[in-house]
Structure 1
Amino acid sequence: MVRKIAFLIGLGFIAVLLIGLVSTIIDAVRTPAPESASHEFHLEPRPAGFSSDGVFGKWDRAQLQRGFQVYKEVCAGCHSMRLVSFRDLEQIGYNEAEVKAIAQQWPVEQPSINEETGEPATRKNLPSDRIPSPYANEVAARAANNNALPPDLSLMVKARDDGTDYIHSLLTGYREQPAEVVAKFPDAKTPDGLHYNPYYANLNIAMPPPLASDGQVTYSDGTKSTVDQMARDVAAFLTWTAEPNLERRHAAGLAAVLFIVIFCFLAYGAYKNVWADMKH
């Protein structure tokens, strides 16, 4: 008797779930979600073809150094990179002396305490220090950016779908809002203080175009610094900050695949040898 009651209760529970599912589908068909400008005019990131793409991807260290230069001269004024230490830059080709010079010349110093007076002070950065934020705290960051909080860029590539291509597309995607957007969706006009970018989720972004013109950065290796080139380089650099072990991970994966292939051949050879004298 107890089993029958339990069965009926379970059957009723399943029936309620099915009724809810069917009613939800019927409502969705009868009253579809209203169209929106972001749904119709939002663009997916353009594939840009980076050296780190794919299972055999590897770093172009010259590009990573150019990307760091773009970050330092353009992005670091607003965006922090709290998970990256100066000494990590040795992984992209800088030597110990260069890293030390970069740390000491960084425009933002580390907070400290004056040992003589006990008052708050600052000190020069050391290679072991994390790259400091340009703002003292979140309140200061919002106050300097019209209440918009510039995100930390350490893991930005991981935080966005197609992160590397997304950053490249976003940085090169600023444009005037097409008239057809406002014609079809009058309420979607880009508000004052925001900027139209079809690669951003809601089309309007608070960040002004950071790469406004060619030649904004003078590369030390002589590479021509077009907007597209600078966007590619900083996107590659931010990919490295989010995935510094990419090359080692790819190498380990390749070694594992080779091991499995060799093991399969050895296992097959052992099988043939053991059962060679057996009659079928």
Structure 2
Amino acid sequence: MTRIIAPLIGLGFAFVLVLGLFGTITTASEPATAEHEFHLKPKPVALASNGIFGKFDRQQLQRGFQVYKEVCAACHSISLVAFRDLAALGYSEAEVKAIANQWTTEQPSVNPETGEAATRKNLPSDKFPHVYPNEVAARAANNNAIPPDLSLMTKARPDGAAYVHSLLTGYQQPSAELMKEFPNFATPEGLYFNPYFPTLNLAMPQPLVSDGQVTYADGTNATVDQMAKDVTAFLVWTAEPKLEARHTAGLASVVFLIIFIALTIGAYKSVWRNVKH
């Protein structure tokens, strides 16, 4: 009797598993959406810091900081970066002090005489201050959207640098193909179409609108693509300022392991050379 029941129980379990799998597939087959069909994968961007041998281009980082300062800093903070960290970009101590002192947003403080809230000039030891005092102020100034902090943006988003560069250069009008397939698709008022953003519409207006928007001190031609690459390189640095040291340590470790393995093989052969197997 047991020999008959056991196979039946097994068949019952198999039947339940097949039903579960079929139900999962059916549930996963949802109607196609414009976001799914027309969301584009970021385009690769060539930066000096790419790859295991990558190193930062200091001139590009300074250009990227200039783009951030003149274009992005009005809305986006880099609150995890200190002013004195800019010395790693090639700025002198005097230049770092001047940048900190002249920065538009000052540090929150307290008036020692009245105890009321106040502000003070930035010091090189200070971190870049938040653009907005709180989330309510940020939403009020940005159509109810909160501009994200950019300190770790290239580490926080899939495809990192490629995503940032593609987003900055990807603003456009919805394509004819999209409107033909999804005639009811529309970009709501106050939002902007960008196929590299997951929902296709985002609250940030196009920040880099024309060539020459920034005048580079080193004379580099400031095209929209160049500015996007430069600020992307800068944000790669803010997210991982020790990237070069990590690459150097990694390569040194690999070389050490190769030498160690070679010495180990040599020692093994030397010790067992007279032993017959």
Report TM bin, short chain: over 0.9
1:140 aligned residue: 137
Query: For 2:20 and 2:156, how far apart are their aligned partners in 1?
Result: 31
1:203 Cα deviation after fit: 0.7
Structure 2 vs 1, CA of residues 98 and 20 (structure 1 numbering), >3 Å: closer, same or farther? Answer: farther
Q: Choose which of 154, 159, 182 in structure 2 pairs with 1:157.
A: 154
- Tell me, what secondary structure is at the counterpart of 1:131? coil
Query: For 2:259 and 2:233, how far apart are their aligned partners in 1?
Result: 35
- Specify the code of the residue in structure 1 equivalent to 2:43: R
1:22 aligned residue: 18
Conservation of the 8 A alpha-carbon contact between 1:181 and 1:189:
no
1:20 Cα deviation after fit: 6.1
Structure 2 vs 1, CA of residues 105 and 33 (structure 1 numbering), >3 Å: closer, same or farther? Answer: same
Query: For 1:64 and 1:22, how far apart are their aligned partners in 2?
Result: 56
1:217 aligned residue: 214
Structure 2 vs 1, CA of residues 119 and 30 (structure 1 numbering), >3 Å: closer, same or farther? Answer: closer
Q: Choose which of 238, 242, 267 in structure 2 pairs with 1:241.
A: 238
- Tell me, what secondary structure is at the counterpart of 1:279? coil
Conservation of the 8 A alpha-carbon contact between 1:56 and 1:250:
yes
- Specify the code of the residue in structure 2 equivalent to 1:171: L
1:263 aligned residue: 260
1:87 Cα deviation after fit: 0.6
Considering only aligned residues, what root-mean-square deviation do their CA atoms show, in Å? 1.8
Structure 2 vs 1, CA of residues 24 and 239 (structure 1 numbering), >3 Å: closer, same or farther? Answer: farther
Query: For 1:20 and 1:109, how far apart are their aligned partners in 2?
Result: 64
1:83 is the counterpart of 2:80: yes
1:33 Cα deviation after fit: 1.5
Query: For 1:271 and 1:51, how far apart are their aligned partners in 2?
Result: 42
Structure 1: gaps (5+ residues): 1-7
Q: Choose which of 63, 66, 88 in structure 2 pairs with 1:66.
A: 63
Number of aligned residues: 268
Query: For 1:226 and 1:160, how far apart are their aligned partners in 2?
Result: 25
Structure 2 vs 1, CA of residues 35 and 270 (structure 1 numbering), >3 Å: closer, same or farther? Answer: same
TM-score calculated relative to the size of structure 2:
0.92
Could you give the per-residue CA deviations for residues 213-262 of structure 1, whole angstroms, max 9, x where no partner exists? 11111111111110000000000000000011100000000000000000
Conservation of the 8 A alpha-carbon contact between 1:81 and 1:133:
yes
1:30 Cα deviation after fit: 4.4
Query: For 1:175 and 1:275, how far apart are their aligned partners in 2?
Result: 70
Moved over 6 A (4+): none
Percent sequence identity over aligned pairs: 64
Q: Choose which of 168, 173, 176 in structure 1 pairs with 2:173.
A: 176
1:125 is the counterpart of 2:122: yes
Query: For 1:259 and 1:137, how far apart are their aligned partners in 2?
Result: 50
Query: For 2:181 and 2:158, how far apart are their aligned partners in 1?
Result: 28
1:37 is the counterpart of 2:39: no
1:42 Cα deviation after fit: 0.9
Could you give the per-residue CA deviations for residues 82-129 of structure 1, whole angstroms, max 9, x where no partner exists? 101101111111111110000000011111112222222111000011
1:106 is the counterpart of 2:103: yes
Q: Choose which of 197, 214, 218 in structure 1 pairs with 2:194.
A: 197
1:179 Cα deviation after fit: 2.6
TM-score calculated relative to the size of structure 1:
0.91
Could you give the per-residue CA deviations for residues 136-171 of structure 1, whole angstroms, max 9, x where no partner exists? 111000000010110000001011111101100000
Could you give the per-residue CA deviations for residues 188-230 of structure 1, whole angstroms, max 9, x where no partner exists? 2111111111111011111000001111111111111100000
Query: For 2:134 and 2:153, how far apart are their aligned partners in 1?
Result: 19
Structure 2 vs 1, CA of residues 22 and 95 (structure 1 numbering), >3 Å: closer, same or farther? Answer: farther
Structure 2 vs 1, CA of residues 19 and 96 (structure 1 numbering), >3 Å: closer, same or farther? Answer: farther
1:95 is the counterpart of 2:92: yes
2:3 aligned residue: none
Conservation of the 8 A alpha-carbon contact between 1:158 and 1:242:
yes
Structure 2: gaps (5+ residues): 1-5
Structure 2 vs 1, CA of residues 19 and 77 (structure 1 numbering), >3 Å: closer, same or farther? Answer: farther
- Specify the code of the residue in structure 2 equivalent to 1:180: E
- Specify the code of the residue in structure 1 equivalent to 2:57: D
Conservation of the 8 A alpha-carbon contact between 1:80 and 1:132:
yes
